[in-house]
Structure 1
Amino acid sequence: MKSPMLPKDHQAAVRRALELGRSGDPAKLPELVAMLRLPSNEVQRLAVSAIGKLVEFGADAEAAVAALLPMALHGRHPQTQQYAIRALRKCGAAAKGCVPDLRDLARNPTQRDYVRAAAATAADAIEQAAKDALAGVKHRCQRCGAAVTAEEYARSHQQFQRSYCDRCFDEVFLERRNFEIQVEINKTIEACDGTLVQSEGERRIAEWLTAHGIAYRYDAKFRIIAEFQIRPDFYLPELDVYIEYWGLDTPQYKMSMYKKQMLYQQEGKRLISVYPQDLPGLDVLLTAKLRRYGYFP
């Protein structure tokens, strides 16, 4: 649905919501709450996501819950509902009064599947947070659910921006190291500028960018939001655009693809997705999509 806001006002509000979410300043919560009244699905989605981030930095969780629950239950767009539910989950025990509503939402067949799934997951997490608060447990391992000591939390949060017990920390560290080694091993195809890539599709994209004089970074690490680090196939710094080549068709790969696409969307990033069937018309596709972001050949 197109926003009824003027384009200039809409873009300013989008930028402001992103800025507030990244600020980590709990004092910005009232401004974000006020943005929920703006008639834009995108602005509302970014605002509820930003509220969840500020709660993690110590913003008033009860005030956040009061603003988020109506959006979770009655948001104008299902994605806004989904992000509001996720933000409620971050409010922990402060959102325990929302659990019955979230359970009802999870059982409501008229809701989108991803909204229902988010509601069920959030209700479980909030109930556990409420129990932990009564028991005096401050953090739990996000992998196995065990109680996490202050030292374990500090170590894992510094390394992964996650809460892990020592056993799971070691497992995750090893998994990520092995993954990165495998990625480097898979870079066996050389593009015309000497960049080693992992597939013919990526080679085609790299060589198109080189031929058109567009600077890019391949497989570089970026932390686009506080909780997640990503490795986009291509990042174009002059245009602030990300290009991902989705070259596989396995269920596990598709799940990872959808999650990554959601992260880009959540943060308002400029993403161009390229699929194997796009390669015959790659020149037309990239030219048209990059023009939207200020590229003029």
Structure 2
Amino acid sequence: MPSALINGKEIGQSIRNDLTKRIEYLNEQGISPGLAVILVGDNAASKVYVSNKQKTCEELGIYSQLITFDANLSEHELITTIESLNADPAIDGILVQLPLPKQIDESNVLSAILPSKDVDGFHPINIGKMMLGQDTFLPCTPYGVMKLLEYSEVELSGKHAVVIGRSHIVGKPMGQLLLQKDATVTYVHSKTPNLKEITLQADVLVVAVGKAKLITSDYIKDGAVVIDVGMNRDENNRLCGDVDFESVKEKASYITPVPGGVGPMTITMLMENTVQSAENELRQDKRSENR
């Protein structure tokens, strides 16, 4: 039986509808959520991502500030800009679009963002809180995957979840979030010798490696839930994921398409984190008033 489609556009829109109401309430309290996005260089994909983020901010009524720099920008200049945004009360969230030019140390830059404004969820403090299961900003793509599973009513407790990929952005945090929902989690990656043997055990398979159509139907068991985080181009230059959708959809119980699956959720959860940051500010203001 063909699998049920997990529609990221529809689920993302449902979350955005809720965000609109929360933003309206913040506006009534005199707070306008603000997001600053820093783009260094002229990476074509990064420009598309940034444009989509700005468009979504506009649709939701979030103040958006785009700061662009040439690719020869120094690390010191970038961190100085971040420090000024840290101190700007109009900005609730700061996002530095990755990747950065080679002369800039990514870890130094991400650590310079105030944890309270780190809406991408990459600051070491926020990553540490996530590992401990504490309230914090979660990395947007794994957070979006968890929302897809939640809205689709996929049971995770006691299930075997396999994550293909170990990046700091998706793979590592993805496994931790699944673990917090009581799944048994296995990571596999490029050095795993028996990849297929492990993926065939997966009740939930999350694929985030950046290799077009790597996972075919013989890698999954009947009824598995398959989440495709990949975004690639196939031999005909069409968008595709890391999963061979046409073959896998005949075996999976649920599957995300590419495009229209995880992609829309990443930006949606960025907006969620930005609004959450503004709400945190409101709570702090009210606490100060009551002292």
TM-score by length of 1: 0.30
Question: Which structure: greater helix fraction?
Answer: 1
Larger of the two Rg values belongs to structure: 1
TM-score by length of 2: 0.30
Identify the structure with the greater strand proportion: 2
